[in-house]
Amino acid sequence: MHPNLYALGAIALWASLASLGVSLRHVPPFLLTGLALVIGSIPAWPLVRQWKVPARTLALGVYGLFLYHFLLFIALRMAPAVEANLVNYLWPLLIVVLAPVFLPGLRLKAAHLLAALAGFAGAAIAILGGGDAQGAWSWGYLPALASAFIWASYSLWTRRVETFPTAAIGLFGLVSGLLSLACHALLEQPVDLSPRDWLLIAVMGFGPLGAAFFLWDKALKGGDARHIGILSYLTPLASTALLVLVTGREPSASIALAAVLIIGAAVVGTRAR
């Protein structure tokens, strides 16, 4: 299978994360993240023999999966959610522009830069089109920016460490999930979960916080990081479109404009050699 198809699979799963999050917004964020990550690691449990990775690789996996979500949830608590989410979606742009820094031998062409800027403009329109930006500074934007850098650098650094089996992503998710549950025990109030909550958490775990990570790893190992970074701009568009359907809102002109910019950027970026 072409690496871009693996990337698109991960993107499709991540597009459902916001809608699932809306349905589970009453669940404390660390508890939700911890349970979902642990559940997401389950498919890799039968392949536990492939979890033998160097400590450096395990640290990188925890850095990406745990610290990214930790900072993102902090940002969403401290800053307006829409604006903080927009700052977080700098990570596809950072993958594109930082690829030559983390991966020697790669270089950016004008087409990559133009596609990256067009894609980010589309992401901004898609995310901000449903509401007015508040325009006020919040310290929560700093952890949002840090989360964007962490996911971009994690995605690129996985190409620099010794090659590891994709099944080892299950170890990353399990350790990260247990750390998230520890944060819940220390920082959040306990809650009772309904059967519906458990069902949605399981869907989230096996999907955007589980299978998506395995697909993303396969894409990064076999594809061009610059092209995959451009394709990632489909995530905010797809996520916003799904939220429109789930919440019953009417599609807007801003969503249509975002679609043109993002899909156009993906086409231009992936065709650049």
Q: Is the pLDDT of residue 133 over 50?
A: no
Q: What is the pLDDT of residue 82?
A: 66
Residues 270/231, Cβ–Cβ less than 8 Å: yes
Residues 97/225, Cβ–Cβ less than 8 Å: no
Q: Is the pLDDT of residue 172 over 90?
A: yes
Rg of the chain, C-alpha, whole Å: 18
Residues 99/156, Cβ–Cβ less than 8 Å: yes
> Containing domain of residue 239, as a range?
3-194+203-271
Name which residue leads in pLDDT, 64 or 235.
Answer: 64
- Average of per-residue pLDDT across 258-265: 75
Q: Is the pLDDT of residue 171 over 90?
A: yes
Q: Is the pLDDT of residue 135 over 60?
A: no
* H-state helical runs in the chain: 3-15, 17-23, 29-41, 55-62, 68-78, 81-88, 91-102, 110-128, 141-157, 169-187, 195-206, 212-222, 225-231, 234-247, 253-271
Domain count, the chain: 1
- 23-37, 83-97, 100-114 — most confident range: 23-37
Q: How confident is the model at residue 137 (pLDDT cuts 50, 70, 90)?
A: low
- Average of per-residue pLDDT across 165-172: 92
Q: What is the pLDDT of residue 272?
A: 60
Q: Is the pLDDT of residue 134 over 60?
A: no
Q: Is the pLDDT of residue 132 over 50?
A: no
Rounded alpha-carbon distances, angstroms, from residue 129 to 235, 257, 261: 15, 10, 14
Nearest to 85 by CA among 1, 153, 174, 17: 17
Rounded alpha-carbon distances, angstroms, from residue 190 to 29, 54, 70, 217: 12, 35, 18, 33
Q: What is the pLDDT of residue 212?
A: 92
Distant-in-sequence, close-in-space partners of 22: CB < 8 Å, separation ≥ 6: 243, 246, 247
Q: How confident is the model at residue 71 (pLDDT cuts 50, 70, 90)?
A: confident
Q: How confident is the model at residue 193 (pLDDT cuts 50, 70, 90)?
A: very high
pTM: 0.79
Residues 4/231, Cβ–Cβ less than 8 Å: yes
Q: How confident is the model at residue 182 (pLDDT cuts 50, 70, 90)?
A: very high
Burial class, 51, CB count within 10 angstroms (exposed 0-12 / middle 13-18 / buried 19+): buried
Of all residues in the chain, the percent with pLDDT exceeding 70 is: 89
What φ, ψ does residue 165 adopt, rounded to 5°? -65, 145
Q: Is the pLDDT of residue 233 over 50?
A: yes
Calpha distance 173→152 (Å, rounded): 17
Q: Which of 26-35, 100-109, 258-267 has the lowest average pLDDT?
A: 258-267
Q: What is the pLDDT of residue 105?
A: 77
Q: What is the pLDDT of residue 85?
A: 74
Name which residue leads in pLDDT, 197 or 94.
Answer: 197
Q: Is the pLDDT of residue 100 over 70?
A: yes
Q: Is the pLDDT of residue 15 over 60?
A: yes
